[in-house]
Amino acid sequence: MNAPLHRLAEVAADPDAYVVAWKQSHPGRKVAGVLPMNFPEELLHAAGFLPVVIQENRDPDSDGRVILAEFYCGYTRNLADQAAKGKLDIYDTYFVADHCVQLLGAADVMRFKAPGTPIYFGQFIASMSEESTARKVRNEMEHIVGEVERGAGTPIDRERLAESIRLYNTDRRLLRMIFDARREGRIHLSGAQMQDLVKSSMVMDKAEHVALLEQLLTEGIAAGGSQARVKLHLSGHFCHAPKQELLDLIEDCGAMIVDDDLYHGRRYITTDVREDLDPIEALSTWYFDRNVNVPCPTRVQHDADWDTYLSNAVSESGADGVIVLMAKFCEPHMLLYPELRKMMDERDTPYLLIETEHEGLPMETIRTRIEALVERISRKATVAAAL
Judged by the rule CB under 6 A, the positions of this chain that interact with ligand SF4 are 73, 75-76, 100, 102-103, 238-239, 298, 327, 330-333
- Residue 47 contacts which entry, another protein, ligand SF4, none (Cβ below 5-8 A, type-dependent): none
Q: Cα(136)–Cα(124) distance, rounded to whole angstroms? A: 8
Pick the closer one to ligand SF4 by CB: 122 or 279. Answer: 122
- Three-state SS for 354? strand
Single-letter code of the amino acid located at 75: Y
Q: Does residue 375 belong to the site contacting another protein (CB under 8 A)?
A: yes
Q: For the CB of residue 381, give the shortest distance to another protein in the complex, in Å.
A: 10
Q: Provide the β-strand partners of residue 355.
A: 326
- Segment near another protein (CB under 8 A); pick from 85-93, 118-126, 317-325, 363-371: 363-371
- Residue 330 contacts which entry, ligand SF4, another protein, none (Cβ below 5-8 A, type-dependent): ligand SF4
Q: Does residue 386 belong to the site contacting another protein (CB under 8 A)?
A: yes
Q: Which residues contact 181 (CB under 8 A, 6 or more apart)?
A: 187, 221
- Segment near another protein (CB under 8 A); pick from 37-45, 51-59, 155-163, 359-367: 359-367
Pick the closer one to another protein by CB: 130 or 359. Answer: 359
Q: Does residue 380 belong to the site contacting another protein (CB under 8 A)?
A: yes
- Residue 222 contacts which entry, ligand SF4, another protein, none (Cβ below 5-8 A, type-dependent): none
Site string for another protein, 314-353 (x = CB under 8 A): ------------------------------------x---
Pick the closer one to another protein by CB: 86 or 338. Answer: 338
- Segment near another protein (CB under 8 A); pick from 54-62, 226-234, 279-287, 369-377: 369-377
Q: For the CB of residue 324, give the shortest distance to ligand SF4 in the complex, in Å.
A: 13
Pick the closer one to another protein by CB: 17 or 381. Answer: 381
Pick the closer one to another protein by CB: 79 or 340. Answer: 340
Q: Does residue 383 belong to the site contacting another protein (CB under 8 A)?
A: yes
Q: What is the largest CA-CA distance in the chain?
A: 71
Query: Of 195, 201, 197, 198, which is closest to residue 242 (Cα–Cα)?
Result: 195
- Residue 365 contacts which entry, ligand SF4, another protein, none (Cβ below 5-8 A, type-dependent): another protein
The upper half-sphere exposure of residue 40, i.e. CA atoms within 13 Å in the direction of its Cβ, equals 38
Q: Provide the β-strand partners of residue 51.
A: 32
Query: Of 276, 36, 283, 303, which is closest to residue 137 (Cα–Cα)?
Result: 283
Single-letter code of the amino acid located at 30: K
Pick the closer one to ligand SF4 by CB: 102 or 193. Answer: 102
Peptide bond preceding 256 in cis form (omega within 30 of 0): no
Q: Count other C-beta atoms under 10 Å from residue 133's C-beta.
A: 17
C-alpha distance from residue 221 to each of 194, 213, 247 (Å): 12, 11, 19
Q: For the CB of residue 290, give the shortest distance to ligand SF4 in the complex, in Å.
A: 15
Q: Answer whether 320's CB lies under 8 Å from 256's CB.
A: no
Q: Answer whether 334's CB lies under 8 Å from 326's CB.
A: yes
Q: For the CB of residue 239, give the shortest distance to ligand SF4 in the complex, in Å.
A: 3
Q: Cα(2)–Cα(354) distance, rounded to whole angstroms? A: 32
Q: Cα(155)–Cα(382) distance, rounded to whole angstroms? A: 63
Q: What angle do CA 110, 23, 4 make, to 5 degrees?
A: 105
Q: For the CB of residue 299, give the shortest distance to ligand SF4 in the complex, in Å.
A: 11
Q: Does residue 379 belong to the site contacting another protein (CB under 8 A)?
A: yes
- Segment near another protein (CB under 8 A); pick from 152-160, 225-233, 285-293, 362-370: 362-370
SS (H, E, C) 252-318: HCCEEEEEECCCCCHHHHCCCCCCCCCHHHHHHHHHHHHHHHCCCCCCECCCCCHHHHHHHHHHHHC
Single-letter code of the amino acid located at 128: M
- Segment near another protein (CB under 8 A); pick from 69-77, 104-112, 331-339, 358-366: 358-366
Pick the closer one to ligand SF4 by CB: 332 or 350. Answer: 332
By the criterion CB under 8 A, which residues form the site for another protein? 350, 355, 362, 364-365, 368-369, 371-372, 375-376, 379-380, 382-383, 386
